[in-house]
Structure 1
Amino acid sequence: MKEDKEKVEERYTQWKSLVPVLYDWLANHNLVWPSLSCRWGPQLEQATYKNRHRLYLSEQTDGSVPNTLVIANCEVVKPRVAAAEHISQFNEESRSPFVKKFKTILHPGEVNRIREFPQKSQIVATHTDSPEVFIWDVDAQPNRNAVLGAATSRPDLVLTGHKDNAEFALAMCPSEPFVLSGGKDKCVVLWSVHDHISTLAVEEAPTIKQSSKSGGNNAKATESPTIGPRGIYQGHTDTVEDVQFCPSSAQEFCSVGDDSRLILWDARVGSAPVVKVDKAHKGDLHCVDWSPHDSNFILTGSADNTVHMFDRRNLKSSGVGSPVHKFEGHDAAVLCVQWSPDKSSVFGSAAEDGILNIWDYEKVGKTTDSAGSKSPNTPSGLFFRHAGHRDKVVDFHWSACDPWTIVSVSDDCESSGGGGTLQIWRMIDLIYRPEEEVLTELDKFRSHIFGCNS
C-alpha cells in the first residue's frame, strides 16, 4: 500500500512538472467533501478572455452535516490566454478562485449522480440511496445552509417506480423531457416529465420518506408531487449500473449492469430487450455512452479495466456481439466514459487508477506518429493522459460550450483521508489539431525565432 502511494505521488509530481507544456488551461479546486458527480450547467456569460458557466457538484458528507447538491459559478479562461507559469502555480490544499459556490440544496440522502436536461439545463435530476429520482429546478430552489439538523430541501418533483434502490444509472433524453433510470431491482425505468402537468391538479401529494443517511435530518418527510413511470424494462439479472438514450431517437436507449450485459431497448416495440449482449466484458459494466455523432457506436466501461466500442449493426439479438475495438490503458475499473462533443472519433474514460484517458479511435492501428516514434507500450488509440488526480476519478464531463474543456472529480478519501479534487482543464491545442496545421504554425515560430536572432 505504501509502495502504491509512493508510485502515485511520483506520477503526480512528474505530471505537475509537465502542466505548463501539456495544458492550455487548468484550475485545481480542493473539495472539503468528496463529490461523486460533476456536470456543466448553462453558460452564463461570455467575456473577452473568459466565459462563466454553471457547474453542478455533489457533497458526500460523513453525516455531521447534510449531503448537498452544489450549484457553483465557474470561470473558464479562453484558449491561448493563460500564461504557462500561471496555470502551473496552484496549491493542492487550496480552492481555486475560478470556482465559487453559488447555491446549496440540502439533499435527502447522498447525491450519487447528477444529470441536467439538455432543453432546460437549470432542471437537474439526482440519484440517491433510495428508489426515487429527484427533479430540481435549481433556479427556483432556495439557497440553504448545510448545518446539523437542518430539514432537507424539497424536490420539485419525485419520480417513483423502482422497487429497490437506484443509485447510479441515470440519463436525460436529448430531444424530449424523458428521464431514464436503472437500479438494484434489475429494472430500467422510463418517465416523461410532461406527465407532471397532469399531477398539478392533485391537491395532496404523497409523502416521500427521507433517507436516514441525510445527516440526522430524517425526522420530517418531504412533500413533493410524484409521477409514475411510462415504462419498466426487464432483461438484466443484476444491478443496472448505467443507462443512456440514443441521441437520434427518444424511444431507443441502452443499459449496462453487473451481469456483464449490454442491452438495447426500443419503447415502440414493448418492454422486452431488442438486442442483448450477454458477455459485453469479462467483468461488471459500470458505464455506457452512445455517440452523439454516429448512433451506431456505443462505448462501455467495465471492472475488467477496459473500454469496449460496439457497432450496433454488428450486434445480434442472440447475444453474440463482439466489440469493434477494445481500449486497454487503465490499471483499474473504468467508472465513466463519454464521447467528446468536439470531434466524432474522440472520447474520454476515467477509472479507479486515478487516470482520465483521452482516446481517438481513428488513431487505432497507426503504428507511428509524425516523428516516426510511437512509444511501443502506448495503448492503441490513446493520445492524452490526464494524471492530475491522485485517487479514483469518479466522474467527468466535456463542456458543450468551451471546446476541449473538461471538468473532472476524484474521491480522495483513500489517499488523503478525506475530501476530493475538482479540476477544470483543457489540453494544449497542438495535441489535437491537424498535424499539417500544427507543423505550419511551428514553422512560423521557427522563422520568427531565427529572425529575432539575426
Structure 2
Amino acid sequence: MGRTIKKARKAKAKKTKKKAEASSSSDPAIASGPAKVWQPGVDALEDGEELQFDPQAYNYLQGFGIGWSCLSFDVVRDQLGLVRSEFPHMVYGVAGTQAEKPQWNYIGVFKLSNISGKKREPIPPSAVDGDNDADSDSSSDEEDEEISEDKKLNVHLKKVAHAGGVNRIRSMTQQPHICATWGDTGHVQVWDLSPFLNSLAESGAPAPDEGDIIHRHTPAKVFSGHKNEGYAIDWSPLVAGRLVSGDCNNCIHLWEPSSNNWNVDSNPFVGHTASVEDLQWSPTEADLFASCSVDGTIAIWDIRKGKKPCISVKAHKADVNVISWNRLASCMIASGCDDGSFSVRDLRLIEEDPVVAHFEYHKKAITSIEWSPHEASSLAVTSEDHQLTIWDLSLERDAEEEAEFRAKMKEQPNAPENLPPQLLFVHQGQRDLKELHWHPQIPSMIISTAIDGFNVLMPSNIDTTIPGSTDIAMASAEP
C-alpha cells in the first residue's frame, strides 16, 4: 500500500550554498557541532536516530499512493502548456499495479492537483549575513511548516481493471491517451484511456467512493505472441503508434499502426542470448531502436535491415536493466546495471571506446535511468539501495570556485571528499525504488514509484546549478 512522506522538523544542520546537509544525530552535543552529510551505505544510524529531510532542499516534495504498489508508471502529456514553471501545477499519469491477487490488479489513471511549492534562493541570505541568524532560521521554519500543512496535494484516481500484474506501462507521445501495458500474464495490451482522462479533466473533487470502483474496459489490442512475460516496451517518438515490445525469452516484436489497429510482426528480432530488459527508440532516426539485456549487452537495431542487430556492445559485467537514449543529445545513451553501476556511451565512438562516463556510486541494482527532457547533460537514476540520484555530467570539480564559496560561508560545509562532482542531488525516503520519470512539461519535476508509494519532488538546486557543488537531501518516510 502507498505511504506518504510525512513533514519532518527542520534538520539542525545549517544549510549552505547548494548544500542541503542533514545531521543524523539526535544528541544535542553532536547536533550543535559542524554539519555532516550522511552517506547511505557508508554511515550508520544509531538506535533512536532517524534521518529527516531539509525542506530547503526542495521546492516541492510530497508522497501519494494509488492503492497497491506499482512497478511502473508514466506521465501523460497534457495541453496545459509545453513548459510550465509557475505554481500551482497539475499532473496526469497512468500506473500499473502489482496486487496481492491477479484479479485485483488495475491501471490507475490519476490526476494530481494543487501542487503548490515555493521557488527558493540557491543561497539563503542568513548563510552569508552575519546578523539575525536566529530570527532568519525561525522565520524559515514557520514558512516551511506553512507550505507543508496548508498546501495539500489532491489525488483524483480512476481504476481500470487489468488482467494480472503490470510489469510496465507507457503512454504514447503523440496520442497520450493511448497506453501500452506489459502484463505478467505474457500479454501486451494497448488501451484507449481517453474516457477516464477526460472524466478527470472535467471533474472537480472526487466522489467519496470513487477510489473503490474498478471500471471494466476493453483493450484496443491484445498481443499474445510473446512466449514469456516481459518488461521492455517503448513507443516511437517520431512515428505515431509504432511500438516495440521485448520479452524474457530474448525476442523483440515490432508493432506498426494500421488504419484502426496494429499489425504485430510475428517474426521477432533475435540477437540477445538472454532476457530483453529495456527498449528505447532513437529520438532522431525513425527506424532505429536500442535494447539491453541480461546478457550484459546493448544492441542497436535498424528495422529496415532484417532481424539481427546492426551493433552489439558488451556494456556491463552483469545484467543491463535499463537504458535511456538522450533526446537532446542523440549521440548519448545511458545504461544501468544490476551491480549498481551506470554508464554513458557516445554512439559516434561505438566502434572504439564509447564510454564517456561510468559511475559506481549506488550499492545495489539500478532500476531506472532517464535523461532530463530540459537539460542535455542531466540524468536521474533510481536504485534498489533506496536512493534517487540526479547527475549533471557537465560538472567538474573546481578547487578555486570551491575555495571562494567556502570563504563566503559562515559555517564550513562538511561534505565528503569522495562524492563525484557530477552528483547534484540524493533523494531518499522511499523503499525499494522502481522507476522514475521527469515531467516533460514541468522543468525540474520528477515523479518516482517504489514499494511504498509515489513521490513528487522538485529539488531546489536544479534550476540554478553551481559548478563543483553537491546537494544531498535526506527524506524520512513514515506511515
The bucket for the TM-score relative to the shorter chain is 0.7 to 0.9
The alignment status of 1:63 with 2:98, answered yes or no, reads no
Map of 1:125 onto structure 2? 180
Q: Cα distance 1:275–1:426, how it changes in 2: closer, same or farther (>3 A)?
A: same
Match of 1:386 among 417, 427, 447: 427
What is aligned with 2:340? 305
Asked if the contact 2:348/2:354 (under 8 Å) is kept, the reply is: no
Alignment correspondent of 2:464: 433
* Separation in structure 1 between the aligned mates of residue 424 and residue 48 of structure 2, nearest angstrom: 18
Superimposed CA distance per residue, residues 370-410 of structure 1 (whole angstroms, 9 cap, x where no aligned partner): 42676312134211111131x11101110011110011111
Q: How many pairs were matched up? A: 383
* Contact 1:253 1:264 (8 Å CA) reproduced: yes
Q: Name which of 273, 276, 282 aligns with 1:240.
A: 276
Partners of 1:60 and 1:313 lie apart in 2 by: 40
2:93–2:110 Cα contact (<8 Å) kept? yes
What corresponds to 1:399 in structure 2? 439
| SS of equivalent residue, structure 1 residue 14 | coil
CA distance in 2, matches of 1:12, 1:227: 57
Change (3 A) 1:234 1:65: closer
CA contact (8 A) 2:108 2:159 kept: yes
Report the residue type matching 2:300 in the other structure: L
Matched AA of 1:181: S
Q: Look up the match of 1:84.
A: 144
Counterpart contact for 2:235–2:244, Cα < 8 Å: yes
Tell me what 2:254 maps to.
190
The CA distance in 1 between the partners of 2:187 and 2:455, in whole Å, is: 30
Q: What is the CA distance between 1:101 and its match in structure 2?
A: 3.1
By how many angstroms is 1:138 displaced? 0.8
Please give the TM-score of this superposition, normalised by the length of structure 2: 0.72
Following superposition, the deviation at residue 367 of structure 1 comes to 5.9
Alignment deviations for residues 48-93 of structure 1 (CA, whole Å, 9 cap, x no partner) = 7412221212222101852010011112336529953245559xxx
Distance 1:9 1:422 in 2: 28
Tell me: CA distance 1:113–1:268, structure 2 relative to 1, closer, same or farther (3 Å). same
Pick closer, same or farther for the CA change 1:380–1:326 going to 2, 3 Å. farther
Q: CA deviation at 1:315?
A: 1.4
Q: Is the 8 A contact 1:38 1:407 kept in 2?
A: no
Q: Percent identity?
A: 25
Contact 1:246 1:253 (8 Å CA) reproduced: yes
Distance 1:153 1:13, change over 3 A: farther
Query: What do you get for the CA RMSD once the two structures are aligned?
Result: 3.3
Q: Is the 8 A contact 1:182 1:241 kept in 2?
A: yes
Look up the SS of the partner of 1:21 in the other structure.
Answer: helix
Q: In 2, are the aligned partners of 1:306 and 1:328 still within 8 Å (CA)? A: yes
Structure 1's 146 and 32: CA in aligned 2 closer, same or farther, altered over 3 A?
closer
Q: Which residue in 2 is equivalent to 1:424?
A: 456
What is the CA–CA distance in structure 2 between the aligned matches of 1:139 and 1:12, rounded to whole Å?
47
8 Å contact from structure 1 (residues 284, 303) kept in 2:
yes
d(CA) in 1 for partners of 2:211 and 2:423? 42
Residues 100-115 of structure 1 correspond to what in structure 2 (within 5 A)?
Answer: 100-115=155-170
Matching residue of 1:340: 372
Alignment map for 1:277-316 (pairs within 5 Å): 277-278=313-314, 280-316=315-351
Gaps of 5+ in 2: 1-39, 121-139, 200-208, 407-412, 470-479
Structure 1 residue aligned with 2:56: 21
CA distance in 2, matches of 1:103, 1:9: 43
The one-character-per-residue Cα deviations of 1:212-248 (angstroms, maximum 9, x if unpaired) are xxxxxxxxxxxxxx74228621110000000100100
Cα distance in 1 for partners of 2:105, 2:371 equals 30
Task: Give, in angstroms, the shift of residue 324 of structure 1.
Answer: 1.4
